[in-house]
A and B are shown apart, each in its own frame.
Chain A
Amino acid sequence: AQSVTQLGSHVSVSEGALVLLRCNYSSSVPPYLFWYVQYPNQGLQLLLKYTTGATLVKGINGFEAEFKKSETSFHLTKPSAHMSDAAEYFCAVIAHGNNRLAFGKGNQVVVIP
Chain B
Amino acid sequence: EAGVVQSPRYKIIEKKQPVAFWCNPISGHNTLYWYLQNLGQGPELLIRYENEEAVDDSQLPKDRFSAERLKGVDSTLKIQPAELGDSAVYLCASSPGGASTDTQYFGPGTRLTVL
Interface residues of A (CB under 8 A from B): 4, 9, 32, 36, 41-46, 49, 51, 90, 92, 94-101, 103-106
Q: Does B56 contact A (CB under 8 A)?
A: yes
| Interface size, chain B (Cβ < 8 Å) | 24
Which A residue sits closest to B42, measured CB to CB? Answer: A103
Beyond A44-B106, A92-B42, A105-B41: 17 further Cβ-contacts under 8 Å? A32-B101, A41-B108, A43-B4, A43-B107, A43-B108, A43-B109, A44-B93, A46-B104, A49-B101, A97-B100, A99-B31, A100-B45, A100-B56, A101-B45, A103-B44, A105-B42, A106-B41
Chain B residues at the A interface, C-beta cutoff of 8 Å: 3-4, 31, 40-45, 48, 56, 91, 93, 98-101, 103-109
Chain B, interface SS category: loop
Separation in Å of the A102 CB from the closest CB of chain B?
A: 8
